[in-house]
Structure 1
């Protein structure tokens, strides 16, 4: 790293934000150690561009190149240099021209990674690979036959020949690049640009939105390091890349190139510092339409019939009208499974004992016994009772069926000598495929599911736009700026199985646009649809829009002729001229949206995602099915920009979720909703900034929505009501107030209030009955005191407890070290949660208060002194495992338990009185069933 005191002709004249200061501190420390890679994750709007320029001018102090994924971001980097003072002696300060690098050069990735499109050597290699492929697939016997086939195609179908040759060129380039020779594949212009940067003495490369570097761009830049003489590299991104489906070599190269994330700017911190707009995440739930429900019921029923058939439960016409009489399996599933578990027979041979069997196929060993028990089949003597604690109590039936069905289909029916078994296997596999499960040679895999498609693109989701936008219009009036995001303009090819339910517009932007126009109130928003190929304008707005559009084009020097094609309820806008392209019309429509010409845009995530900026957006409705953190963060980043005209802005981010929990895969869309929020922090109803879906509502769990089936209207009304309580929820963010800079571990407990049962603490002076919060606090104090006395925590922390909506309680240590917070939350979770083979247990007693004949005669002021108190055992709890390793530490816990919660002795639970007490408690249901979850929150 250059000497920080050396003269550099660029100085920062602004002021860094707190999060930027933290990032700079980390980066400087890394550079001071001689590290030449810095990897920073920062959300959209957090000042990522200024941060990168500051590191260039104040830390690295060398000529730099910034590479960005598109020209809009490229221009942003150049324009933000206005915050920096450049010495008058510098004649080539900032450049966006690859032919003329400056002290800071801002380019697109494409400008330095453009591949060679053809050439003798590349084409020869591509044809050679094409020949190899034809031979491997049996389309040709040898290279000569393949050459004849390709030559004939070239003569008779030149377009298709060129299309396939282009694909094979790319494969050749990828192969070469993956081997570390990507510079050999570059176009001459890109190589020349890289050489000019080296000659300019570039010592710093800033890679913006570096999550894009998991493919060709990343391969080229990794190889270009040596050409550029090993410059310092700073990777900036709003979100780490998605790794699914990426080549292992590309993933490894990315990780080696950037290393671990050095600093991540948390969104809540930037909001609390006042540099991003606060937001609330909301969800609106719908049921599929009646036609869609009928389809789901049919698929579900037919699948269950096949399962019953495989189990040998009937051999005649089924309830669904399907004749199975000719397809009776030679060995029903339960019989086969019982034999396998008894003999420990796997396709590779017989295992010597259960431990070996369990090691070779742990999933079948875990699920198989449970399946037999569910069918009333007694387990073979050599099979130990299943560990039910390892099974999520909220797992769906299909999750437990699939491992068993998979083994039966692959290991038994497919290998059977009976052709009828093959028919059954094919039938079951086809039904599983409808549910998104593909049985392959090596096991089950997720696949595209017609059922999942129905849930994702249900017509009911489009209809949900109307109540959502109506509530938002009521709250915001004319200031509403709503954006509706769909996956596509129209959906891709519809599977034949659901062609009668979903047309080509189902779930797409066009369907959403049509739905808005069909409603009188939503139509008042004058919606406009914009995609990569289409602009549709509400017919009420058409005349004004055309005038505004022509003025905008003239003002920006765009020579374009506009015209309308009229359709029912809207106009299709077309433009002629070379300058009419998505880049121009998206910028134009965005500006008109900002000014309120239209107050609702409908578009696709590809067009209104990364790089799109409209700070007036205050309502975002997500109809897209994406779940990856990269795509989700890009979508959400659109609504949380500060609006200087509305300092009190709070953005509403809506998800529309379709559920049918009674059917297999009926929670597919809900699972996508869960996945979207897994890594997202949001505002909870008690003011905590919580990670995960629980911040939308405390009732949402990681698998199923607790009690959601019967509460749709209540939940939806609650969510719609929040749209009108913006000031209240903005205040909960406590913007500008001090906050803990790191997320802390908390517990969220549900059901402990019911377990308290209205009893009183078993102490003489207790006057208030237990509540969920008071009991949780008492248990927390017992755990905290024991951990401190046992010297397992660094110090005595302050304990906080709070109530959330729906009977949930939040409990946490205030300002605890991360490791202490994690240890405490795990210990409380074990104590208040369901018993899981505890080593020590301890009883909790409670006092029941009842009237005597004296108290019944006295006024309340005096009656309470004469009521009768009877003590009973209320619940048996586990001593935390960290305090159960020795009798002495369990006794320490018991002392604190006696002080804060109840009299009682810690008893060893694996034999003697403790084991007997545990068995009695289980029989009498005096064991905890509270749902206890660990959460990460900002406070």
Structure 2
């Protein structure tokens, strides 16, 4: 066999790496590559040109299974198609493409499995004391089987799976397979399979992976190639499954970064955009009320309480002769915390010898208690060090430091109090915290589902945001628009009693999004269609046309289905009758009609329009989901990256809709989800670099705080809508076809205010009257640091300083042509110069010139008057000397020399005593210390 095409650069690089691994005798290979980057061709090339043995390809669904068979037409072979490739379990072709289910199907309903499942159920009933002995449990189960067979079967499925999983984990995976799966594996063993390609292998964290680990040994350990767009999400997985997966595939041998494939021209460029909304008035009222209740609870906990009188029983001999006894109430929260810190007593009651031990034993309480007390103006005990000024000034969400404090107080004081009133107060606080996503159990505080967070995540106003976004995109693209709106579900799952008045069954779901589009004239023009696992809803404007085109599509493929429609308000429900009508058929059918432009907008759920689904004309993606795992996020975003041959200049706009109420405790929950979605995503920035993280959407998104976000929402939305019109400019920023390094680099972004620049002022050098700016000052400081490190022999002379201005007064700093270690050393040093001065060994002043008019300069023309202006030099800021250059006097002298050359005159002083200590103290008191906002980023050049 011979590949008839040309490998992409990323494919060629991956193959070169894999060749080395195979030559070294490695038989398990692990490659990560984004959707659309050519994983299928990569796998087939390795099979045809390097491994050259009968192969088995396994995929998670039939759509991907078919893609593998279809891509073999890119290879020249003297074999017939049947000899070359098969998608049947009993075939004898050189390459067989199947689904994971075909070789991992568990056995069902045989006598041994049924008996084991029943025994397991009986054991569970006895263990939970719902039955006294096996006989009683069996009577109850048999009665259930007769009177409620549906529930009986539902529970039996649970226990059958538990029995199978237990057996598989003990190494009996193949014995638990269905006869058909066992026969399929036997066929491949006889055929002598030498290669197994596991596509989308992140799915192998459960049953499939357990079976295939044993099957690999059974098939005499053929070469394994694991391909995936993203590593698996380990959250909620069994430790043994995680270990087995990591052992089976080993470390990633090669990872294809998305930016490389875009820059090479094999994926469409894209820009990530966000649209912000506020909760509706009803939602906001609920959120505000929950906050008020929490504040009320907190004030109650911090208020002194009188002792509780306990009434004696009426028949007690002391009932009339003595005063009723009293029970001491727990001291207020702040008093209890102060007592712990004063006596260095851990919440458990153990007293430790010093603060260092206290902090090590309970670090979260050590920080949270100090923050809580200092915010309330309560002095700390002398032996307890106060928190740094920077930490006190940082805008930490109050729940972040309330949670450890409340958790310890509730568990170790209120619940252990003899007072019934204290115990009731503890329960009130627990109930209120649960609404905000925190659950206090017997063992500690942990995250839980938050009704408040759910209200914000599925706010009605997020659905309403579809109209302005799509209206703008319609204006941008007209008939070429192909938009996809993805939600978590068709209808909402069960909601808690606290929010059922706010979230109906359609809130936040695909149906609500679809109705919003068809009921608004601007978006109704898109002729939307809804696709879910159980429904196809069609805009009534195109119902006749779509049904006619759909019937043609079905006839052309010889699919025996009869279509009918049921009208509703503004849309029709499309029904299909016939054994072949299934989601697989109608998703492919509607997708083809979407590609052809019969509908210009699909609304669906991430389960249906996710992995394996392909529509290369998508140029607008609106993500309404709450998913944040990198695996699922990459799958969703990957839908819009595909190249469109009919639109060679395609640029996709990927939108997130984010609901915020930053003035409330959980009001930034949705923003945090948005942040997590982007933490592993690369995107193009306004200064033409490719950056990982939410900062590529907007430079300010890494630093938006509650007091600033609210005022900037309208401005941000306007900016995002404007950027959606600038597809051509965005494409240019990607620099497609230009050379690139292909490796991620670390960078920092510095946001210095005029306070940090002391009103900026003028450069303090003889003969210069140039004013400082954020960019020029950052560049001068960075150059002083770089040249100092190079002169000291700590950095390579090859390193090149790169400075770039971003929107929002952010200045990006990084090194080009530098090793990873050199980059880290340099950026740490620059960070320290613009960071706090506390704890630094040496400090250095920075002066600026201030230029004022005199009475003579005012009378003269500006050209002459500038020579008569008054110039005074004044202290602007005191900076830290970087630790790498503060180890000895020689290094300090090098830094001082470069500082004096590029930034300012001034002497570096030892900060621990004498003049240096006095300078630091005076600078802190006068506010002459840096307050820059600094962010570490990762970019792709």
TM range (shorter): over 0.9
Select the residue among 159, 173, 183 that pairs with 1:182.
173
Select the residue among 34, 38, 57 that pairs with 1:43.
34
The answer for the alignment partner of 2:541 in structure 1 is 540
The answer for the alignment partner of 2:342 in structure 1 is 342
Instruction: Say if 1:829 and 1:933, in contact at 8 Å, map to a contact too.
Output: no
Q: How many Å separate the matches in 2 of 1:795 and 1:221?
A: 52
Q: Cα distance, 1:29 vs. partner?
A: 1.4
Aligned ranges 1:351-390 → 2 under 5 Å: 351-387=352-388
Select the residue among 215, 226, 232 that pairs with 1:235.
226
Q: How many Å separate the matches in 1 of 2:411 and 2:704?
A: 29
Q: Per-residue displacement from partner, 1:241-288 (whole Å, max 9, x unpaired)?
A: 111111111011111111111111111110010000000000000011
Is 2:120 aligned against 1:135? no
The answer for the alignment partner of 2:768 in structure 1 is 766
Q: Per-residue displacement from partner, 1:346-392 (whole Å, max 9, x unpaired)?
A: 31633233232222211111211221222232222332323565679
The answer for the alignment partner of 1:157 in structure 2 is 148
The answer for the alignment partner of 1:829 in structure 2 is 831
Q: How many Å separate the matches in 2 of 1:178 and 1:57?
A: 35
Counterparts in 2 of 1:116 and 1:510: CA distance versus 1, 3 Å:
same
Is 2:423 aligned against 1:432? no
Q: How many Å separate the matches in 1 of 2:703 and 2:443?
A: 28
The answer for the alignment partner of 1:922 in structure 2 is 924
Q: Cα distance, 1:147 vs. partner?
A: 2.3
Instruction: Say if 1:312 and 1:329, in contact at 8 Å, map to a contact too.
Output: no
Q: Per-residue displacement from partner, 1:489-537 (whole Å, max 9, x unpaired)?
A: 1111121111111111010011111111121111111111110001111
SS of aligned partner of 1:847:
strand
Counterparts in 2 of 1:829 and 1:258: CA distance versus 1, 3 Å:
same
Q: How many Å separate the matches in 2 of 1:633 and 1:90?
A: 34
SS of aligned partner of 2:803:
strand
Q: How many Å separate the matches in 1 of 2:817 and 2:8?
A: 23
The answer for the alignment partner of 1:323 in structure 2 is none
Instruction: Say if 1:473 and 1:480, in contact at 8 Å, map to a contact too.
Output: yes
Is 2:736 aligned against 1:745? no
Is 2:14 aligned against 1:13? no
Instruction: Say if 2:51 and 2:195, in contact at 8 Å, map to a contact too.
Output: yes
Q: How many Å separate the matches in 2 of 1:184 and 1:876?
A: 72
Select the residue among 911, 915, 937 that pairs with 1:913.
915
Counterparts in 2 of 1:22 and 1:390: CA distance versus 1, 3 Å:
farther
Q: Per-residue displacement from partner, 1:92-116 (whole Å, max 9, x unpaired)?
A: 2211111124211111100110000
Aligned ranges 1:516-595 → 2 under 5 Å: 516-595=517-596
Instruction: Say if 1:843 and 1:877, in contact at 8 Å, map to a contact too.
Output: yes
Q: How many Å separate the matches in 1 of 2:926 and 2:453?
A: 42
- Structure 2 unmatched runs, 5+: 307-325
The answer for the alignment partner of 2:511 in structure 1 is 510
Instruction: Say if 1:67 and 1:107, in contact at 8 Å, map to a contact too.
Output: yes
Instruction: Say if 2:277 and 2:660, in contact at 8 Å, map to a contact too.
Output: yes
Segment of structure 1 superposing worse, 490-499 or 41-50: 490-499
Q: Cα distance, 1:196 vs. partner?
A: 1.2
Instruction: Say if 1:281 and 1:653, in contact at 8 Å, map to a contact too.
Output: yes
Q: Per-residue displacement from partner, 1:806-862 (whole Å, max 9, x unpaired)?
A: 111112212322221122111111111233422211111111111233322332223
The answer for the alignment partner of 2:394 in structure 1 is 393
Q: Per-residue displacement from partner, 1:387-438 (whole Å, max 9, x unpaired)?
A: 5656792320111100000000111111111111110011000000000111
Instruction: Say if 2:330 and 2:413, in contact at 8 Å, map to a contact too.
Output: no
Aligned ranges 1:481-496 → 2 under 5 Å: 481-496=482-497
SS of aligned partner of 2:843:
strand
Q: Per-residue displacement from partner, 1:284-309 (whole Å, max 9, x unpaired)?
A: 00011111111111000001000100
State the aligned residue count: 921
Segment of structure 1 superposing worse, 341-350 or 639-648: 341-350
The answer for the alignment partner of 1:259 in structure 2 is 250
Q: Cα distance, 1:38 vs. partner?
A: 1.1
The answer for the alignment partner of 2:601 in structure 1 is 600
SS of aligned partner of 1:920:
helix
Q: Cα distance, 1:184 vs. partner?
A: 1.4
Q: How many Å separate the matches in 2 of 1:104 and 1:633?
A: 29
Segment of structure 1 superposing worse, 209-218 or 348-357: 348-357
The answer for the alignment partner of 2:853 in structure 1 is 851
The answer for the alignment partner of 1:621 in structure 2 is 622
Q: How many Å separate the matches in 1 of 2:808 and 2:659?
A: 22
Q: How many Å separate the matches in 1 of 2:290 and 2:881?
A: 47
Instruction: Say if 1:615 and 1:639, in contact at 8 Å, map to a contact too.
Output: yes
Aligned ranges 1:385-464 → 2 under 5 Å: 385-387=386-388, 393-464=394-465
The answer for the alignment partner of 1:901 in structure 2 is 903
Q: How many Å separate the matches in 1 of 2:610 and 2:224?
A: 26
The answer for the alignment partner of 2:732 in structure 1 is 731
The answer for the alignment partner of 2:314 in structure 1 is none
The answer for the alignment partner of 2:696 in structure 1 is 695
SS of aligned partner of 1:302:
helix
Q: How many Å separate the matches in 1 of 2:328 and 2:614?
A: 62
Q: Cα distance, 1:460 vs. partner?
A: 0.6
Is 2:638 aligned against 1:637? yes
The answer for the alignment partner of 1:3 in structure 2 is none
Counterparts in 2 of 1:789 and 1:752: CA distance versus 1, 3 Å:
farther
Q: Cα distance, 1:89 vs. partner?
A: 8.7
Q: How many Å separate the matches in 2 of 1:30 and 1:709?
A: 53
Instruction: Say if 1:288 and 1:458, in contact at 8 Å, map to a contact too.
Output: yes
Q: How many Å separate the matches in 2 of 1:444 and 1:55?
A: 50
Instruction: Say if 2:702 and 2:935, in contact at 8 Å, map to a contact too.
Output: no
Instruction: Say if 2:798 and 2:818, in contact at 8 Å, map to a contact too.
Output: no
Q: Cα distance, 1:573 vs. partner?
A: 0.8
The answer for the alignment partner of 1:790 in structure 2 is 792
Instruction: Say if 1:312 and 1:328, in contact at 8 Å, map to a contact too.
Output: no
Aligned ranges 1:169-248 → 2 under 5 Å: 169-248=160-239
Segment of structure 1 superposing worse, 55-64 or 840-849: 55-64
Instruction: Say if 1:288 and 1:455, in contact at 8 Å, map to a contact too.
Output: yes
Q: Cα distance, 1:543 vs. partner?
A: 1.2
Counterparts in 2 of 1:341 and 1:542: CA distance versus 1, 3 Å:
same
SS of aligned partner of 2:700:
coil
SS of aligned partner of 2:708:
coil
Segment of structure 1 superposing worse, 746-755 or 702-711: 702-711
Instruction: Say if 1:745 and 1:821, in contact at 8 Å, map to a contact too.
Output: yes
SS of aligned partner of 2:616:
coil
Aligned ranges 1:810-829 → 2 under 5 Å: 810-829=812-831
Q: Cα distance, 1:441 vs. partner?
A: 1.5
Alignment RMSD (CA, Å): 1.8
Counterparts in 2 of 1:31 and 1:344: CA distance versus 1, 3 Å:
same
Q: How many Å separate the matches in 2 of 1:475 and 1:313?
A: 63
Counterparts in 2 of 1:245 and 1:91: CA distance versus 1, 3 Å:
closer
Q: Per-residue displacement from partner, 1:301-322 (whole Å, max 9, x unpaired)?
A: 001000100111689xxxxxxx
SS of aligned partner of 2:36:
coil
SS of aligned partner of 1:498:
coil
Counterparts in 2 of 1:262 and 1:834: CA distance versus 1, 3 Å:
same
Q: Per-residue displacement from partner, 1:219-244 (whole Å, max 9, x unpaired)?
A: 00111111111111111000111111
Q: Cα distance, 1:153 vs. partner?
A: 2.2
Counterparts in 2 of 1:390 and 1:259: CA distance versus 1, 3 Å:
farther
TM-score (structure 1 length as normaliser): 0.96
Q: How many Å separate the matches in 2 of 1:442 and 1:388?
A: 33
The answer for the alignment partner of 1:863 in structure 2 is 865
Counterparts in 2 of 1:123 and 1:107: CA distance versus 1, 3 Å:
same
Q: Per-residue displacement from partner, 1:596-629 (whole Å, max 9, x unpaired)?
A: 1000111111101111100010000111111110
Counterparts in 2 of 1:911 and 1:179: CA distance versus 1, 3 Å:
farther
Select the residue among 258, 282, 285 that pairs with 1:291.
282
Q: Cα distance, 1:705 vs. partner?
A: 6.7
The answer for the alignment partner of 1:330 in structure 2 is 330
